[in-house]
Structure 1
Amino acid sequence: MVGSSLTDDEKDTANTRLKAGFVLLVAASMGLMALQVDPTPLQLAAVFAVGIVVGVGLLWFVLRNLAEYRSSLR
Structure 2
Amino acid sequence: MVGPSISDEERVATNNRLKIGMVLLVGVSGGLVALQLDPTPAQVAAAVGVSLLVGAVLTWFVVRTLREFSPKR
Give the number of equivalent residue pairs.
Answer: 70
TM superposition score normalised by structure 1: 0.84
Distance 1:64 1:10 in 2: 20
Higher helix fraction (1 or 2): 1
> Root-mean-square deviation (CA), in Å?
1.5
- Same amino acid, percent of matched pairs: 56
TM superposition score normalised by structure 2: 0.85
AA of the residue aligned to 1:32: L
After superposing on structure 2, the runs of 4+ consecutive aligned residues of structure 1 that deviate more than 4 Å are none
Gaps of 5+ in 2: none
Gaps of 5+ in 1: none
2:56 aligned residue: 56
